[in-house]
Amino acid sequence: MLRKMIDRWMVVGVLLALSAATLSHAKLLAAEPQQDDFVQMIVQLIANPDQDFRAAALEQVRSAAAGAEATKRFAAQLTRLDAPGLVALLSALADRGDVAARPAVLNLLASSRDESVRAAAIAALGKLGQPEDLPLLVKALSAKSTAERAAARASLTQIRGETITQSLAAELKSASPDVKAALIEVLATRRATEELPTFVAATVDDNAQVRGAAMAALGQIGQPGQIAAMLPGVLKAKKGAERDAAEKNVALVCARIANENERAEALIQAVDAIDPAQRDELLSLVGRVGGKKLINFVASIATGEDAARRKLAIDALSKWPDASVADKLLEIAEKAHYPEERTQAFQGYVKIAATRDKRSDRQRLDRMKQAMTVARTPEERSLVINRARTAYDVETLRFVLPYLDQPQFAQVACETIVELAHHREVRDPNKAEFDKALDKVIQIAKNPVLVDRANRYKRGETWERPAKRAS
Amino acid sequence: MLDEAFEALKKFDWGTDVAAVAPIDDAVAATHGQADARRDLEQRLVAALGGKLSRDAQDYVCRKLAIIGTAAAVPALASRLGAPHHSHMARFALERMPAPEAAQALRDALPKVTGDLKIGVLSSIGARRDKAAIAAVSGLLSDNDPSIATAAAHALGAIGGAKSAQALAAARPSKSSKPAVIDAQLACAESLLAEKNEAEAMKIYQSLAGDHQGRLVRLAATRGMLACASKQG
């Protein structure tokens, strides 16, 4: 308390003395001494223990008292403050953007062991750094501290200089896998299109992290010319999340070809260049890219002689980006000789039919009604009731409502009705009808969250969907 | 049409269809830039104000005079400043009229009105930024009624400038009006800074930066001092 008071008196005293000196002789003094006093005022305030007073000074650091000399005096305070003060001053110096502060920032980075200070110093180098700081920033990409790594990545993305991109690409050659992955991300964010061949080469790296980063980079800035070169990367990706991500990135690059037929042609050519023994593995990718030209090709495999190929092709049709394959999937489901194929095709049909693409809600609902008429098992009917929730229409409520009275479907029908009621634009114009349905949900739903939501929607309140957990 | 509207004005009251008096609104717009037509319209409005009108009709006339009123309308408006039900709309008009006579009318009314009406007149003087009223307003800083002392401080802050600042600095405010005096001092400093009179602004900020002031006042003063110094530097 006493120390705070002394500090406060000291600052106020200095302010009073300096400002009086500055202004009483304002017209007599030359510009430089006036600025000197102003800088001194700011310097004193930077050390103020009250963060609002400090912020007032830092506002001046950001924009006032132009010139390298003032910058150096502000930067000199980097040796005198506590950690929060240092972090704030580093941010202000970075915003000031005067490279005269760089040596002090580098010195602080070399001497400080405080994680927040080091991260702030690394972040400041994004605006104040020079090409010769690259090794230091690259090294920080493998720091133990998450904050330092994130700051290094941001600074490497931000740092200016004509040779930066080339230098980063050179660093790639000798970098460890995690640093290599980070550098690829940085280069992609810097939109370093001249490094596309480097990214392509990295798509078949032995390290999954590097492969993933390279594929993501190509997904961000790759061009149709890279489609064929990306396919070995898709094949090298482990099945599961990595393969899915790789396929999505190729699909992103394909999507840069506006014409649907040309897009399909480019993919066919690329697939043709792959060893025939491996081509079937790319069917899933073909499905993600979609297009009318490819439907019959994939459908012919889905109805062919080879069971393993049929499975891959049905999977591919189920990943189609639009509903153009819906009829084909329904046909396959209806004619399937094996129950597992029937199930796979039916599930694919319902998934595609429920996709929120350019079709109207009524069209989506019509597809669901069609699915219900051909559904054979309770599981299939339950799936249709579940996915009907993607058709935001009061007619969907009327379609699902009767299932509340069938015990085996009642709970899934409750879920779908509550999901429909979530959409105010559907609920409000049909409030009486929804209220009646929600009353029934409240009565029979076993899930307390559904009951809570139903009550809220009846009262016209909203409900916040919990964020999905990061996988 | 206009004659009919002035006739309708005599019966105009809360809930009456405003369409009946709309030709007066139209005339206000149509006479823009036509001095003679404006003068005629103003005379008719002033005459109407002297007649027997409902309170709503009188308020309506004051709104129109706020737009087209000149020195000729001031006596009619000034006479209403002491009337509890009409003072507000009279000030509404006088506050907005460019004629110096309107400012004089408010200054003249200040010693004559009391209580809420005095607070209102002080507010209008502040809104007009009437430097000629500084002495009269300053005298009220020590008024026994803390609301009037506070209103006087606010008015001086709104008027701004070095003289207002001097009056505020010399004041010995009561505990309840002290925050208003400090606010007004800061407002004066800002107006001086805007006028590029950094030296005077700095004096005010310095006087408020001491440890005897509250934290937020010291913070505002410090920010002001930095702003002054940055403009000097």
Tell me the nearest-neighbour CA distance from B212 into chain A, angstroms.
10
Q: Considering only CA atoms, which of A259, A267, A208 is closest in space to residue A237?
A: A208
Q: Tell me the H-state helices in B69-214.
A: 74-78, 87-96, 100-109, 115-127, 134-139, 146-159, 161-170, 178-194, 198-208
State whether A12 and B210 contact (CB < 8 Å): yes
**pLDDT band for position A276 (cuts 50, 70, 90):** confident
Residues of A within 8 A of B217 (CB-CB) are none
Positions of chain B with pLDDT lower than 50, given as ranges: none
* Alpha-carbon radius of gyration of chain B: 21
Q: Of B203, B209, B230, which is closest to A15 when you measure between CB atoms?
A: B209
Band of the pLDDT at A469, cuts 50, 70, 90? low
A125 to chain B nearest CA, in Å?
27
Q: Is the Cβ pair A12, B218 closer than 8 Å?
A: yes
- For residues A106-122, give the mean pLDDT: 96
Average pLDDT rounded to a whole number, residues A88-108: 96
Q: What is the pLDDT of residue A43?
A: 85
Write out pLDDT tens, residues B129-138: 999 999 999 9
Report pLDDT for A467.
79
If one compares A291 and B192, the residue with the highest pLDDT of the two is B192
Phi, psi dihedrals of residue A414, rounded to the nearest 5°: -60, -50
Tell me which amino acid residue A378 is: P
Q: Which residues of B touch chain A, with CB atoms under 8 Å apart?
A: 198-199, 202-203, 205-206, 209-211, 215, 218-219, 222-223, 225-226, 228-230, 232-233
Confidence of residue A7 (pLDDT cuts 50, 70, 90): very low
Contacts of B214 in chain A (CB under 8 A): none
The predicted model gives A401-420 an average pLDDT of 98
Beta carbons of B206 and A19 less than 8 Å apart: yes
Question: Which of B192, B202, B212 to substitute to test the interface with A, most A CBs within 10 Å?
Answer: B202
- Quick check: A41 and B218 CB within 8 A? no
Q: Residues of A numbered 48-107 whose beta carbons fall under 8 angstroms of chain B's beta carbons: which are they?
A: 50, 52-53, 56-57, 59-60, 64-65
pLDDT of residue A39: 85
Quick one: what percent of chain A has pLDDT higher than 70? 92
d(CA B110, CA B95): 14
Q: Please check the confidence at residue A19 and state whether its pLDDT lies above 50.
A: no
Angstrom distance (rounded) from CA A6 to CA A100: 32
**CB contact (8 A) between residue A16 and residue B233:** no
Point out the residue among A26, A31, A38 whose CB comes nearest to the CB of B230. A38
Q: 3-state DSSP helix/strand/coil percent for chain A, to nearest 5?
A: 80, 0, 20
pLDDT higher than 90, residue A153: yes
pLDDT at A459: 95
The closest of A270, A260, A318, A326 to A294, measured between CA atoms, is A260
Q: How far apart are CA A311 and CA A250, in angstroms?
A: 22
Query: Is pLDDT at A34 greater than 80 in this prediction?
Result: no
Contacts with A15 from chain B: Cβ below 8 Å: 206, 209, 222, 225
pLDDT for res A80: 85
pLDDT band (50, 70, 90) for residue A25: very low
Cβ B233–A15 below 8 Å, yes or no? no
How far is B71 from B75, CA to CA, in rounded Å?
8
Q: Which residues in B lie closer than 8 A to residue A56 (C-beta atoms)?
A: 219, 222-223, 226
At A349, the pLDDT band (50, 70, 90 cuts) reads: very high
Which of A16, A24, A56 minimises the CB distance to B226?
A: A56
CB contact under 8 A, B211 and A12: yes
A70 to chain B, closest Cα gap in Å: 11
Q: Do A16 and B206 touch (CB under 8 A)?
A: yes
Q: What token pair was written down for A46?
A: 């930077």
Angstrom distance (rounded) from CA A39 to CA B211: 22
Mean pLDDT for the stretch of residues A229-258: 96
Whether chain B has a CB inside 8 Å of the CB on A17: the answer is no
- B223/A9 touch (CB, cutoff 8 Å), yes or no: no
Instruction: Tell me the shortest Cα–Cα distance from A462 to chain B, in angstroms.
Output: 39
State the best of A1, A7, A9, A15 to mutate against chain B, taking most chain B CBs within 10 Å: A15
CA atoms of B93 and B45, how far apart (whole Å): 13
pLDDT at A285 over 70: yes
B222 vs A23, A26, A45: nearest CB: A45
ipTM of the complex in this document: 0.77
Helix (H, G, I), strand (E, B) or coil at A108: helix
**Which of A214, A215, A221 lies closest to A249 in space, CA to CA?**
A215
Q: For residue B82, what is the DSSP state? A: T
Question: Is residue A49 over pLDDT 90?
Answer: no
Nearest CA in chain B to A51: B219
Q: Which two tokens stand for residue A282?
A: 């790319």
Decide if pLDDT at A97 tops 60: yes
Average pLDDT along chain A: 90
In A129-207, alpha helices (H): 134-140, 146-158, 164-174, 177-189, 196-202
Chains A–B, number of C-beta pairs less than 8 Å apart: 75
- Partner residue opposite B230 with nearest CB, options A9, A45, A64: A64
> Span A172-195, mean pLDDT?
95
What confidence score (pLDDT) does residue A466 get? 83
Asked if residue A440 has pLDDT above 50, the reply is yes
Q: What is the pLDDT of residues A138-147, one digit of tens each?
A: 999 999 999 9
